[in-house]
Amino acid sequence: MSQLTNEQLERYSRHIILEQVGGKGQKKILSAKVLIIGTGGLGAPAAMYLAAAGVGHIGLVDFDTVDLSNLQRQIIHLTNDVGKAKTQSGRETINAMNPDVQVHAYDEQVTAANIRDIIGDLDYDFIIDGTDNFPAKFLINDACVLMRKPFSHAGIIRFQGQTMTYVPDKSPCYRCVFPKMPPKDAVPTCRQAGVLGVMGGVIGTIQATEALKFVLGIGELLTGYLLTYDALTMTFRKIKIPRNRRCNICGEQPTITELFDYEQPTCSFGR
């Protein structure tokens, strides 16, 4: 890769000074490709920190438009963006923040039919699950396991959040921990239950941290652990989770060998 410009040396100076990063690490970040699925509570802060860090290619997947009720937590979108496609609004914020970043927008919902093409579009290095529903979370897990792509799972609700990182062959997958979809309406979405706006900031920023560490090849990833965060009691727990040898997708005798869509649970509150 070409030499860092004087402007880049200055912009990323606090990275380059770090012994574990340096100019070489910053160049890795500048040529990295990270896909963020969902530009909401989790994806918005993740996208902004990755953009500020200089991740060269950021893919944004979202089918939705910005709603006024999003702005309490989805900080990549501004009041003037209400009504705009979220990918467009996200692109504008990132472009204004850092010209080193190229944004790739996918204005669609991930499905079994399109997720391989989206991940394969740029052969993304790392995927961030910033979605708000279980069908998408299982689909992202299954696609990443089958395509052998590392990804960061996360979820937030009320004052709670959780996150874990999957790396092929090195860690349990989401299905090792949660083998099946929860029954319909057993778990509310944040639309129904509410969420403190900062939850996405805390957890989404951890997801961005994992993406950067993976790209740099430094430190220890959140593989083999589920990190849970309770904001009310200000408690973090790092729970060790083993690989499930009988996991339906990453176990010794997988029964899931092709992608499929779970039924999207209908929400009584509407969209």
In the complex, the residues that contact another protein under the rule CB under 8 A are 4, 9-10, 13-14, 16-17, 19, 22-24
Q: Which is nearer to another protein, 20 or 95 (CB)?
A: 20
CB atoms closer than 10 angstroms to residue 84: 16
Least separation in angstroms between CB 11 and another protein: 10
Least separation in angstroms between CB 207 and another protein: 28
Which tokens go with 40? 């909401």
Least separation in angstroms between CB 216 and another protein: 13
The separation between CA 245 and the C-alpha centre of its own chain, rounded to angstroms, equals 26
Please, what is the end-to-end C-alpha distance for the chain in angstroms? Answer: 45
Alpha helix stretches (DSSP H) within the chain: 6-11, 13-16, 22-30, 43-53, 86-97, 115-121, 134-147, 174-177, 190-193, 198-216
Which tokens go with 268? 């009584």
Could you give the CA distance from residue 129 to residue 36 in angstroms, rounded to a whole number? 6
DSSP code string of 143-204? HHHHHT--EEEEEEEBTEEEEEEE-TTTS--HHHH--SPPPTTTS--HHHH-B-THHHHHHH
Q: Which is nearer to another protein, 17 or 186 (CB)?
A: 17
Could you give the CA distance from residue 77 to residue 118 in angstroms, rounded to a whole number? 23
Least separation in angstroms between CB 55 and another protein: 19
Could you give the CA distance from residue 197 to residue 194 in angstroms, rounded to a whole number? 9
Least separation in angstroms between CB 118 and another protein: 35
Which tokens go with 248? 């339906």
Q: Which is nearer to another protein, 52 or 241 (CB)?
A: 52
Q: Which is nearer to another protein, 22 or 265 (CB)?
A: 22
Distances (CA, A) of 157 to 20, 54, 73, 127, 131: 34, 29, 12, 21, 12
Q: Which is nearer to another protein, 31 or 111 (CB)?
A: 31
Could you give the CA distance from residue 107 to residue 136 in angstroms, rounded to a whole number? 15
Least separation in angstroms between CB 234 and another protein: 33
Q: Which is nearer to another protein, 13 or 80 (CB)?
A: 13
Q: Which is nearer to another protein, 18 or 193 (CB)?
A: 18
Least separation in angstroms between CB 162 and another protein: 35
